[in-house]
Chains A and B, each alone.
Chain A
């Protein structure tokens, strides 16, 4: 069998790709980035349900528009389906998930176990996060764990991958082959430390970083300038976080309630002045993408469209960042398609066969 799409294992869409020299994972995202193509990633809104169809339906709307999907780990400390669970479902269907690991809920024993489990299921990308404080979520009485921090977590997974060892030094029989990611927020103080902090994350093992929502392009440019001067952009792929704002009211709410998101007054003014605020929010997002894609050192975008996931495709299309390239798309297998085509009439034809008729035709 030959693969019909680039970056697909001919033996099955859910199987890892062939290892390539210089690649640390066998996933699609690393291949796209290392080829120098502009990558697009997005975030799946985790369902509050035990139905796998909910995950599949939410992933389906990104089909053919994104290179990888973040499986969030209880973002904002709100309880949802776990990132390991989402990854298990997505890898089965051939998607390339980015498994987020937050340090808030699990200690080092649980985390290292999840890294092995995730990698065994075919998760090729892992994003190491500190995680929001428990006070931000729906269960503020929970115990905050924070056994590791994002930096030591990165180092832990890097040691597991490169040295084939647990933190304790015990050997792994098969190390996890993962592409390691981290998050950066250039929009929160201390501003002059942030680029240096990025350097620290690279030293700890980060190979790609996704940034917090960028609404202030000049601020992001300053950050990238400093990162370039320090030589960081040659060692790490930077994916700029973007997303549409639903309205000026939402923007104001986010500004005062969600920690770490910086929205300048000009953005809110622009939204308030618009007739259709939702459309303007989408347009604003496209405009920001068009600006950030030109910044040297930016290797892709990370589109976070919480509860507006259906707009991701439009935003990516309108901004033209893919330059005609189509990311991997889940398609029905050729033999399955053939069977479906041949037997499709059963669903539509109204044949009522009686046993008497069947006996007659048999003779």
Chain B
């Protein structure tokens, strides 16, 4: 009882000794720390119609090359294609490689850049200036998606209810998967016809 409490605790001493200019990473959210400028992403959304046209041609070209992919083996081409896809889409859309691309349904605005990774529309927290609730400097991904989708030919694709993300497809090539699926669908469509003819 006679012992007196020290007036200044060790924690206070340490805190006072630290210079005020010290970098405090906790002040900046992790997304913001790795985020570069939004210029390219926003350009892609402004030119969503052009990119939509380009993307459909590109998908056709990829499908034409299906025999090549099949010949080489989809498993073997996965690594180099993924390497290219990651860098190209990373530059254009700030792609996060979810492996199940829905850019053409979201006005060329990558929904995985949303801090809540919403794939079906904006949350209720969008700021009055159209910026994100979590990242005050970032324009809301879904406000931009709505703008982008309005420029596109298939502007109603934004109305589809998207399934939850399949986390097991992360870091895989969406281009190859779509191509393989389209080829499989084409073959399935062709198969019953030949069956009926025979």
Contact status A130-B164, CB under 8 Å: no
From the candidates B26, B120, B124, B134, name the one contacting A183 in the complex (CB within 8 A).
Answer: B124
Contact status A199-B159, CB under 8 Å: yes
A143 CB to closest chain B CB (Å) equals 11
**Closest residue of B by beta carbon distance from A186:** B124
- Give the chain B neighbours of A133 by CB distance below 8 A: 115-116, 125, 133-134
SS of B interface (majority): loop
A132 and B143 CA atoms in complex are apart in Å by 18
Contact status B117-A146, CB under 8 Å: yes
Contact status B121-A189, CB under 8 Å: no
A141 and B121 CA atoms in complex are apart in Å by 26
Contact status A200-B130, CB under 8 Å: no
Given contacts A133-B116, A146-B117, contact A190 B134 (CB under 8 A): no
From the candidates A151, A184, A188, A260, name the one contacting B120 in the complex (CB within 8 A).
Answer: A151
- Give the chain B neighbours of A196 by CB distance below 8 A: 159
Contact status B29-A135, CB under 8 Å: yes
- Give the chain A neighbours of B29 by CB distance below 8 A: 135
18 A-B Cβ contacts within 8 A?
Answer: A133-B125, A147-B164, A149-B164, A151-B121, A185-B124, A188-B126, A188-B128, A190-B126, A190-B146, A190-B147, A193-B122, A197-B121, A204-B120, A259-B124, A259-B125, A259-B127, A260-B125, A262-B128
For window 258-302 of A, CB contacts with B under 8 Å fall at: 259-260, 262
- Give the chain A neighbours of B133 by CB distance below 8 A: 132-133, 136, 259-260
> Does B161 interact with chain A (Cβ within 8 Å)?
yes
> Does A319 interact with chain B (Cβ within 8 Å)?
no
> Does B163 interact with chain A (Cβ within 8 Å)?
yes
Contact status B123-A130, CB under 8 Å: yes
- Give the chain A neighbours of B140 by CB distance below 8 A: 189
> Does A316 interact with chain B (Cβ within 8 Å)?
no
Contact status B161-A203, CB under 8 Å: yes
Task: List 12 additional contacts besides A133-B115, A147-B164, A189-B128; criterion CB under 8 Å.
Answer: A131-B116, A146-B118, A149-B120, A152-B120, A152-B161, A155-B161, A190-B146, A193-B142, A197-B122, A200-B121, A259-B124, A260-B126
> Does A247 interact with chain B (Cβ within 8 Å)?
no
> Does B41 interact with chain A (Cβ within 8 Å)?
no
From the candidates A131, A135, A188, A193, name the one contacting B146 in the complex (CB within 8 A).
Answer: A193
- Give the chain B neighbours of A136 by CB distance below 8 A: 133
- Give the chain B neighbours of A45 by CB distance below 8 A: none
> Does B154 interact with chain A (Cβ within 8 Å)?
no
- Give the chain A neighbours of B126 by CB distance below 8 A: 185, 188-190, 259-260
A136 and B162 CA atoms in complex are apart in Å by 27
- Give the chain B neighbours of A197 by CB distance below 8 A: 121-122
**Closest residue of B by beta carbon distance from A141:** B26
Contact status B125-A132, CB under 8 Å: yes
**Closest residue of A by beta carbon distance from B116:** A146
A303 CB to closest chain B CB (Å) equals 18
> Does B119 interact with chain A (Cβ within 8 Å)?
yes
Given contacts A167-B164, A196-B159, A199-B159, contact A149 B118 (CB under 8 A): yes
Q: How large is the interface on B (under 10, 10 to 19, 20 to 34, 35 or more residues)?
A: 20 to 34
> Does A41 interact with chain B (Cβ within 8 Å)?
no
Contact status B143-A189, CB under 8 Å: yes
A218 CB to closest chain B CB (Å) equals 16
Across the A-B interface, the 3 shortest Cβ-Cβ residue pairs: A185-B124, A151-B120, A259-B125
A42 and B134 CA atoms in complex are apart in Å by 27
A317 CB to closest chain B CB (Å) equals 29
A136 and B127 CA atoms in complex are apart in Å by 14
A103 and B146 CA atoms in complex are apart in Å by 23
Contact status B130-A190, CB under 8 Å: yes
A149 CB to closest chain B CB (Å) equals 5
**Contact mask for chain B residues 143-160; partner A; CB cutoff 8 A; 1 contact, 0 none:** 100110000000000010
Contact status B124-A189, CB under 8 Å: no
**Closest residue of B by beta carbon distance from A149:** B118
A231 and B167 CA atoms in complex are apart in Å by 36
> Does A150 interact with chain B (Cβ within 8 Å)?
yes
Contact status A151-B161, CB under 8 Å: yes
A276 CB to closest chain B CB (Å) equals 29
A180 CB to closest chain B CB (Å) equals 14
Given contacts A184-B124, A188-B126, contact A152 B115 (CB under 8 A): no
A144 and B140 CA atoms in complex are apart in Å by 18
From the candidates B116, B120, B134, B143, name the one contacting A200 in the complex (CB within 8 A).
Answer: B120
- Give the chain A neighbours of B125 by CB distance below 8 A: 132-133, 185, 188, 259-260
> Does A83 interact with chain B (Cβ within 8 Å)?
no
- Give the chain A neighbours of B130 by CB distance below 8 A: 189-190
- Give the chain B neighbours of A259 by CB distance below 8 A: 124-127, 133
A204 and B164 CA atoms in complex are apart in Å by 12
Contact status A108-B117, CB under 8 Å: no
B111 CB to closest chain A CB (Å) equals 9
Contact status B164-A152, CB under 8 Å: yes
